[in-house]
Structure 1
Amino acid sequence: MKIMRFAGFFLLLILLQSCSDPNQFQESHYNGYAQGTTFHISYLYKGDDIANMDEILKQHFEAVDFSLSTYKDNSLISRINRGDTIATDDIFQIVHNKSVEVWEASGGYFDPTVGKLVRFWGFGPDARRAVDTSEVDSIKAYIGLERLSPISSPWAIPSGMELDYNAIAQGYTVDLLCEMLEARGISNYMVEVGGEVRCLGHNLKEEAWRIGVDKPTEDIDQQDRFQFILGMDSLALATSGNYRKFWVDSLSGMRYAHTINTKTGYPAKNNLLSVSVLAPTCMEADAYATAFMSMGLKGCLNYLKSHPGKMEVYLIYTEAGKEGWQVYQSEGFEKRVLN
C-alpha cells in the first residue's frame, strides 16, 4: 500500500492578490510543506480574503497528524498500535470507515491493517534494514481488516496488529481543506497535497483548473515532464506509482517498491507503473489508486469491468514484446485530458 510520511508543519506563505476591485474575483495562493511533502492551494474570492489562513491551514494539518500520523509517538494511531485502549476522534473514524468500505469493495487489496508489513519492508518510521523474507508468513497472521471489531469508545485492536492509513489519509487531508474553504464561502479552488488534488469551479481565467501528472520516471525532465494534463472541476485526482518510492536492499540487491500487496505480504510486483483515479472525493481516489496498484493491470481492468461507471482511470503499464509504455484510459478520463 502506498506510504505517506507525516512530519511537522512548516508554512511557506505566498499570498498573491491579482486585482483590487472588490466586485471582481481575486486569487490567493498558499504553498508550503506539511505531512512530509509539499502542498499548493489556490482559490478565488471577492471582497475580503480569509483572515489568518496560514494558522487555519496549520491547525488542519496538525489535526490530521494528531489522529493518523504513524511518525508521531503521541498520535492516536501510534497509541493504538502500541496496544492502548483509547477514544478515537472524528478524523480517525471517518478515515477508518472509508477504509472499511474500500477494503470490502476491493476484495481486500486495500487494507489498513498493513502496518506491520509497512515497517518490515522499510517504509514506516523505523530505519530501513536488510529483510529476512522468511518472516513474511508470520507477519501475515496480523493482517486482515476482518479481525477488527467496529470502532467503539474506547477502542483497541488485537495484540500485535498495527494500523496504517497513510494510503488514504493524504486524500482525506485534501478533502478536509476543501470542506474548510467551502465553509468559508469559497466555490472556486484547487487544493493539492503531495500530488493528490481536488478542484471545484474555475480558475481566474474562468477555465477549468489545469492539473498535470508526471510521467512514470525516476528523474523529472522539466521540459517534458507531464504524461497528461487534465481540465478539472468538481473532481478529485490521486495517482499511485512504484517508479520513485522504493529502496534497495544492500545485501540482496533487491528493489522493493512502496505498494504492498496484502494478499502476498510482499511489495506489489506487476507491470503497472502508474494508476491515476478520478473520483468525487480525494479520499476515495487515493484509496482506490493504491488498491489498483496492488491488484495489478489484469485485476484492475476486471474490477472496472464489473463496476462500470464507478470511477475514471488512467493506467500506465508495460507489456511483454512491446517497447515503451502502454496506456489505458477510461472514456470519462479521456474526455478530460487536454493534452
Structure 2
Amino acid sequence: MSRILLLIVAFSLFSCKESPSELDFTTQELYGQAIGTTYSIKYFADSEIDIEPQVDSLISLFNESMSTWVPNSKINQINAGVDSVMVRKEFKEVFDYAQEIYRKTDGYFDPTVGNLVNAYGFGADGQKEKIPSPATVDSLLQFVGFNKMDITPANQPESYLVSSQQPGMYLEFNAIAKGTLVDYIARMLENKGVMDYLVEVGGEVIASGENLEKQQPWNVGIDDPTQQPGDRKLLTVVQLKDKALAGSGNFRKFKIDDASGQEYVHTVNPLTGKAVPSEVLGVNVIADNCTLADGYATAFMAMPLEKSRRLLPNLKEIEVLIIYMGTDGALKFETTPGFKSYLKNQAL
C-alpha cells in the first residue's frame, strides 16, 4: 500500500529556559528495514535503553508470520493449502481487527483480495507486467470474501488454526500488518517505561506523550497527492499525542497498460475486482492504535466517495481526511468533525 505520510523529525533545539542537554532525559533514535519497508523510532528515556534486539525480534516475528514476501511464512503456508498451519497471537490479533474492519466497511477492507492483487502484478508472485482480462477478474472474485475464513483455537496454548470455506483463497495482511507492527513496538517501549516516543513503519505512525526536545506534541506531515516524483510536497501537518496515523494513496504505486493506456492502481476494489483510479487520491486516518488506522485507510481508499460519506458518521472510533479530485479538476478535502482539531495550522 502506497503511503502518503511523511515523518517529520525535528532535530533543531527548542528555545526555552532549559536546553535539551540540561533536561533530565536522553534522546535516542533507531532506523532500519522492516517487512519490506523502512522504520524509524525516536524516544526519550531517563537513561540509555538499547531496544534494537527487541525490534529485530518483532520484525522477524512478523515476517515469519504474515509476510507474503517470505517464502515459507505462516501466511504463505496457509495460502499454499498446507494442512493445520498453527499461528500465534499476533496473527490472530491482525485477523480479528481485519474482520472488524471488514464488517464495518461492508467488505471494502478485505484481506482475501490477494489473488486479484497478484493478477494485476502488485503482489509477491513477481509477475509485474500482466493485466488480467475481465473474464479473469470475474473468475477470481469467487476467491474473495473474508467472511469465508475463520480462525479457531488449536490444541496448543496461544495457537490458532485458520480455515476457509473456499479452497484457493489467498490471504494477505500487507494493508494492515505494518500498523500492527507499529503497535507492538509501541507496547515494547511502554513495557520498558518509555512513554514519550514516535514509531513509524512504512509511513504508519504512532505517537505517545510529547516530543520532549520541542516540548510539544509530535508533528507528522501529510503529503500532497498531486506532487511530482522527486518533488515531495506537504499538504498539511498534524499534531499527535497518544494517537496513531496511517495513510493510503495510489499516487506512487500504479502502472499504465501499454496497449490501452489505462492506468491501474494497487488498491483493488474487493467488490468489483477492479483496480482503476477513482476520484479519491488519498486517505488519512487517526485512531487510538495503528492497526485500526492502517486498515481503515485502505478501506476508504478502495471505497467510492459517496459510500465513505454514508459510513463515516457511524465510525466514532476514527477521524478521517479524504483527499479527492473535484469535477472542476481542483483538489478537494473532506474530514470528519474531529480531524481538524489535529491540524497544526488548521489550513485545509
Establish whether TM, by shorter chain, passes 0.5.
yes
Q: CA shift at 1:20, angstroms?
A: 6.1
Q: Deviations over 1:201-242 (max 9, x none)?
A: 0012220001111110352575x7111101100100011111
Partner of 2:73: 75
Q: Which amino acid aligns with 1:296?
A: P
Structure with the greater relative contact order (CA < 8 A, sep ≥ 6): 1 or 2? 2
Kept in 1: contact 2:98–2:295 (CA 8 A): yes
Residues 37 and 258 of structure 1: is their aligned pair in 2 closer, same or farther, counting only changes over 3 Å?
same
Question: Does 1:328 pair with 2:325?
Answer: no
Question: Does 1:315 pair with 2:322?
Answer: yes
Cα distance in structure 2, aligned partners of 1:287 and 1:97: 12
Give the share of equivalent positions with the same residue, in percent.
35
Cα distance in structure 2, aligned partners of 1:29 and 1:150: 37
SS of the residue 1:42 aligns to: strand
Cα distance in structure 1, aligned partners of 2:2 and 2:175: 6
Q: 1:337 aligns with which of 317, 323, 343?
A: 343
Q: CA shift at 1:161, angstroms?
A: 0.7
More moved, 326-335 vs 212-221: 212-221
SS of the residue 1:141 aligns to: helix
Kept in 1: contact 2:152–2:162 (CA 8 A): yes
Cα distance in structure 1, aligned partners of 2:194 and 2:86: 33
Partner of 2:96: 97
Partner of 1:112: 111
More moved, 178-187 vs 25-34: 25-34
Q: Which amino acid aligns with 2:87?
A: T
Q: CA shift at 1:268, angstroms?
A: 5.0
Cα distance in structure 2, aligned partners of 1:152 and 1:110: 24
Cα distance in structure 1, aligned partners of 2:177 and 2:49: 25
Partner of 2:204: 196
Kept in 1: contact 2:39–2:201 (CA 8 A): yes
Q: Which amino acid aligns with 1:212?
A: G
Q: Which amino acid aligns with 1:232?
A: L
Cα distance in structure 1, aligned partners of 2:197 and 2:321: 23
Cα distance in structure 1, aligned partners of 2:34 and 2:291: 17
Cα distance in structure 2, aligned partners of 1:218 and 1:225: 6
Partner of 1:15: none
Q: CA shift at 1:3, angstroms?
A: 6.9
Kept in 2: contact 1:268–1:294 (CA 8 A): no
Q: Deviations over 1:257-287 (max 9, x none)?
A: 1111000011153211111000001000010
Residues 281 and 191 of structure 1: is their aligned pair in 2 closer, same or farther, counting only changes over 3 Å?
same
Q: Which amino acid aligns with 1:316?
A: I
Partner of 1:59: 57
More moved, 26-35 vs 180-189: 26-35
Q: Which amino acid aligns with 2:238?
A: L
Cα distance in structure 2, aligned partners of 1:306 and 1:193: 28
Q: How does 1:173-252 map onto structure 2 within 5 Å?
A: 173-203=181-211, 204-217=213-226, 219=228, 225-252=233-260
Cα distance in structure 1, aligned partners of 2:256 and 2:245: 29
Q: CA shift at 1:25, angstroms?
A: 1.5
Partner of 1:159: 167
Cα distance in structure 1, aligned partners of 2:20 and 2:284: 35
Kept in 2: contact 1:268–1:293 (CA 8 A): no
Question: Does 1:291 pair with 2:303?
Answer: no
SS of the residue 1:250 aligns to: coil
SS of the residue 1:49 aligns to: coil
Cα distance in structure 2, aligned partners of 1:281 and 1:140: 31
Q: CA shift at 1:130, angstroms?
A: 2.5
Kept in 1: contact 2:2–2:252 (CA 8 A): no
SS of the residue 2:237 aligns to: strand
Q: CA shift at 1:155, angstroms?
A: 3.7
Question: Does 1:305 pair with 2:313?
Answer: yes
Kept in 2: contact 1:95–1:169 (CA 8 A): yes
Partner of 1:12: none
Cα distance in structure 1, aligned partners of 2:152 and 2:266: 28
Residues 252 and 94 of structure 1: is their aligned pair in 2 closer, same or farther, counting only changes over 3 Å?
same
Kept in 1: contact 2:256–2:262 (CA 8 A): yes
Cα distance in structure 1, aligned partners of 2:194 and 2:325: 42
Cα distance in structure 2, aligned partners of 1:298 and 1:140: 23
CA RMSD of superposed structures (Å) = 1.9
Partner of 1:272: 280
What 5-or-longer segments of structure 2 have no aligned partner?
4-18, 155-160
Cα distance in structure 2, aligned partners of 1:58 and 1:242: 29
Partner of 2:14: none
SS of the residue 2:245 aligns to: strand
